[in-house]
């Protein structure tokens, strides 16, 4: 049975474990904080049973078959023994990640793939202490990876194409949707696009053009309705009788004009930021955050069911 080791058993490590066991892989979880991996194990057990009860369990295996694939380990050496793929999910701290990979490289063979979940650090920084960087990459998930399947695969400058292919095949095998970047880039693709949306939403609210509530509706009731199924490129392609070329002839100059009017990058601080944060806190008070998160996850899983339809 093929083994994946998860290093770091917080929010993302637990969710990766759910993904890998749903695809029939053995998973060992390691965490530096004593007792943390064991507590992750019991929380994952509970989640798998709940998912089965709600008919939301992924993969072909039953809950008990999936749970039999899962184990926890407080010793790094034992945790990585026999693994062919290591998915690191520790704090977003460059030095911590560099040292984790330095330690792991000393314990595993040169054919073991080393993968980081980092959201914001480029592979050349994360793997700078690893000697053989040909087997290193970032596999950046979207939270929660069990419900949102996209994974960005980002190579180190030395990563071989066979390692990228193997990571792509693994992610596809466990039901994720991998996309590849040809080379590393700050923010990768998803966060760069997300940040462009954040920046313009923030500017529109900050400059008094629209409220916090309404800018969110622009996405949830407007753009987001189609973006769950088709991307911005296909959206444009479908919005002109003869496709994308036709669309750009008609609308390209207007898009260029509006883009040229965009304001400076917001710094997200000061009195205006305080007002935006206050408005958001009134719309969703702190005590409602976990209920709203649960609602989000329930809706995401219903959306995932719809997306399964041909």
My answer on whether omega of the bond before 144 falls inside 30° of 0, hence cis, is yes
Taking the C-alpha atoms of residue 56 and residue 156, their distance in angstroms, rounded to an integer, is: 35
Taking the C-alpha atoms of residue 85 and residue 70, their distance in angstroms, rounded to an integer, is: 15
- Tell me which residues in 209-268 interact with ligand NAD (CB under 6 A): none
Taking the C-alpha atoms of residue 123 and residue 186, their distance in angstroms, rounded to an integer, is: 10
Alpha helices in 92-231 (DSSP H): 94-105, 123-126, 161-173, 190-206, 212-217, 224-227
Of 68, 115, 73, residue with least CA distance to 90: 115
Name 214's Cβ contacts closer than 8 Å, sequence gap at least 6.
none
Closer residue to ligand NAD (CB): 100 or 167: 100
With CB under 6 A as the contact rule, the residue among 4, 6, 13, 108 that binds ligand NAD is 13
Closer residue to ligand NAD (CB): 101 or 202: 101
* Contact range with ligand NAD by CB under 6 A, out of 2-10, 148-156, 157-165, 218-226: 2-10
Determine contact, residues 163/137, Cβ cutoff 8 Å: yes
Name 95's Cβ contacts closer than 8 Å, sequence gap at least 6.
none
Closer residue to ligand NAD (CB): 171 or 236: 171
Taking the C-alpha atoms of residue 20 and residue 240, their distance in angstroms, rounded to an integer, is: 41
Work out the angle between the directed axes of helices 11-22 and 36-53 (0-180°, nearest 10): 50
- Tell me which residues in 31-50 interact with ligand NAD (CB under 6 A): 31-33, 36
Closer residue to ligand NAD (CB): 21 or 236: 21
Of 119, 135, 117, 126, residue with least CA distance to 16: 117
C-alpha torsion sign, points 69, 75, 76, 78:
negative
CB neighbours (10 Å) of residue 248? 14
With CB under 6 A as the contact rule, the residue among 50, 92, 186, 234 that binds ligand NAD is 92
Closer residue to ligand NAD (CB): 95 or 267: 95
CB of residue 246 to ligand NAD, shortest distance in Å: 37
* Contact range with ligand NAD by CB under 6 A, out of 106-114, 117-125, 159-167, 182-190: 117-125
Under the criterion CB under 6 A, does residue 29 sit at the interface with ligand NAD?
no
CB of residue 15 to ligand NAD, shortest distance in Å: 8
Q: State the number of binding residues for ligand NAD (CB under 6 A).
A: 23
With CB under 6 A as the contact rule, the residue among 3, 6, 7, 73 that binds ligand NAD is 7
With CB under 6 A as the contact rule, the residue among 54, 60, 96, 252 that binds ligand NAD is 96
For the chain, the helix, strand and coil percentages under 3-state DSSP, each to the nearest 5: 55, 15, 35
Closer residue to ligand NAD (CB): 24 or 178: 178
Under the criterion CB under 6 A, does residue 9 sit at the interface with ligand NAD?
yes
* Contact range with ligand NAD by CB under 6 A, out of 30-38, 153-161, 177-185, 218-226: 30-38
With CB under 6 A as the contact rule, the residue among 4, 8, 86, 130 that binds ligand NAD is 8
With CB under 6 A as the contact rule, the residue among 117, 133, 159, 176 that binds ligand NAD is 117
- Binding residues for ligand NAD (CB under 6 A): 7-13, 31-33, 36, 89-92, 96, 100, 117-119, 140-141, 143
């Amino acid at each position: 049975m093929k083994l994946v080791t998860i290093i770091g058993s917080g929010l993302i490590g637990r969710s990766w474990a759910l993904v890998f066991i749903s695809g029939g892989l053995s998973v060992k979880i390691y965490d530096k904080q004593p007792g943390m991996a064991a507590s992750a194990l019991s929380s994952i057990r509970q989640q798998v049973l709940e998912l089965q009860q709600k008919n939301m369990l992924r993969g072909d295996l039953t809950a008990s078959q999936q749970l039999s694939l899962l184990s926890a380990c407080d010793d790094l050496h034992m945790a990585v023994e026999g693994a062919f793929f290591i998915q690191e999910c520790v704090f977003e701290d460059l030095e911590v990640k560099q040292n984790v990979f330095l330690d792991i490289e000393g314990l595993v063979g040169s054919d073991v793939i080393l993968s980081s979940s980092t959201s914001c650090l480029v592979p050349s920084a994360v793997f700078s202490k690893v000697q053989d960087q040909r087997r290193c990459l970032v596999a950046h998930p979207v939270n929660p990876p069990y419900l949102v399947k996209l994974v960005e695969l980002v190579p180190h400058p030395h990563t071989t194409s066979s390692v990228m292919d193997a990571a792509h095949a693994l992610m596809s095998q466990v039901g994720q949707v991998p996309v590849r970047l040809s080379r590393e880039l700050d923010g990768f693709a998803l966060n760069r696009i997300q940040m462009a949306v954040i920046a313009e939403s923030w500017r529109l609210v900050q400059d008094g053009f629209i409220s916090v509530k309404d800018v969110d509706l622009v996405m949830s009731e407007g753009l987001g309705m189609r973006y769950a199924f088709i991307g911005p490129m296909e959206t444009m392609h479908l919005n002109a009788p003869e496709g994308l070329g036709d669309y750009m002839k008609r609308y390209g100059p207007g898009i260029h004009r509006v883009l040229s009017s965009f304001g400076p990058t917001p710094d997200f601080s000061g009195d205006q930021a305080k007002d935006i944060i206050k408005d958001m806190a009134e719309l969703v008070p702190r005590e409602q955050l976990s209920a709203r998160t649960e609602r989000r996850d329930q809706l995401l899983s219903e959306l995932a069911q719809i997306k399964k339809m041909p």
